[in-house]
Amino acid sequence: MYFESTQGIEITAKPEYLSTESSPQESQFVFSYEITIANKGETEVQLISRHWIITDGHGHVEEVKGLGVIGAQPKLKPGESHTYTSFCPLTTPTGNMRGTYHMQNTLGAHFDVKIPLFFLREMNSLH
């Protein structure tokens, strides 16, 4: 599990290799990742957008930007959290992900919350 905290917003990431969805002989490695966003601050916040930086085992970088997460822009009161699961296909058995969530609080302040760097690994192919 990977963890990062920014301005009272805690992000936890749990990646997992999905062997049943992957096809190593065709260079298709599929990973899931569960993200929990917890508001440990004192004001309500809303997740506006995401910015992912995905790096495969060859060092190829892909950036993904968009509104919300899996179609939602969750609002979190102090003490609340939001958990979702998404997927990342790679052509290599290893890689990593990191990024930011752009947030807005009820006072109108906008800020970026750091998503922890986490590693994607298909352990069977690593010798």
Q: What is the mean pLDDT of residues 23-51?
A: 97
pLDDT tens digits for range 42-53: 999 999 999 999
Average pLDDT of the chain, as a whole number = 95
- DSSP type of residue 124: G
Is pLDDT of 58 > 80? yes
Domain count within the chain: 1
Q: For residue 56, what is the domain's CATH number? A: 2.60.40.1470
Q: Is residue 59 scored above 60 in pLDDT?
A: yes
The pTM of this model reads: 0.93
User: What is the percent of the chain where pLDDT is above 90?
Assistant: 96
C-beta of residue 17 within 8 angstroms of C-beta of residue 28? no
Task: Tell me how crowded residue 29 is: count the other CB atoms within 10 A of its CB.
Answer: 26
pLDDT over threshold 50, residue 29: yes
Range of the domain at 99: 2-125
- Length of the chain as a residue count: 127
